[in-house]
Amino acid sequence: MTASNNSGLVNNLKKAGIFQSERVENAMKSVDRGKYVNYDPYRDSPQQIGYGATISAPHMHAHALENLAPFLQPGMKVLDVGCGSGYLTACLAEMVGPEGKVVGIDHIPQLVKLATDNVMNDRPELLESKRVIFVLGDGRKGYPEEAPYDCIHVGAAAEKMPQDLIDQLKSPGRIFIPVGSNSQYIYQIDKDNDGNVTKKSLMGVMYVPLTDAQKQLRG
Please give the Cα distance from 103 to 131 (Å, whole number): 8
Q: Which one among 41, 58, 100, 139 touches ligand SAH, defined by CB under 6 A?
A: 139
By beta-carbon proximity to ligand SAH, the closer residue of 83 and 132 is 83
Report yes or no: 125 and 97 within 8 Å, Cβ to Cβ.
no
Q: How far is the CB of 33 from ligand SAH (least distance, A)?
A: 10
142 contacts ligand SAH (rule: CB under 6 A): no
Pick one of 3, 27, 53, 179: the residue that binds ligand SAH (CB under 6 A). Answer: 53
Q: How far is the CB of 55 from ligand SAH (least distance, A)?
A: 4
Angle (CA) 150-167-206 rounded to 5° is 75
Q: How far apart are CA 115 and CA 6, in angstroms?
A: 18
Task: Give the DSSP H/E element, type plus range, for residue 87.
Answer: helix 87-96
User: Is residue 21 annotated as part of the catalytic site, yes or no?
Assistant: no
Question: Which member of 41, 155, 173, 178 binds ligand SAH (CB under 6 A)?
Answer: 155
Binding mask 82-101 for ligand SAH (x = CB under 6 A): xxxx-xx-------------
Q: Minimal CA–CA distance to 88: which of 60, 128, 110?
A: 60
Told to check if 3 binds ligand SAH by CB under 6 A, we report: no
217: number of CA atoms within 13 Å, CB side? 8
As measured in angstroms, the least distance from the Cβ of 38 to ligand SAH is 13
Pairing mode, strands 149-154 and 77-81? parallel
119 binds ligand SAH (CB under 6 A): no
CA dihedral 33, 38, 39, 44 (to 10 degrees): -20
Q: Which residues bind ligand SAH (CB under 6 A)?
A: 53-56, 81-85, 87-88, 105-108, 111, 138-140, 155-156, 208, 210-211, 216
Task: Give me the active site residues, please.
Answer: 56
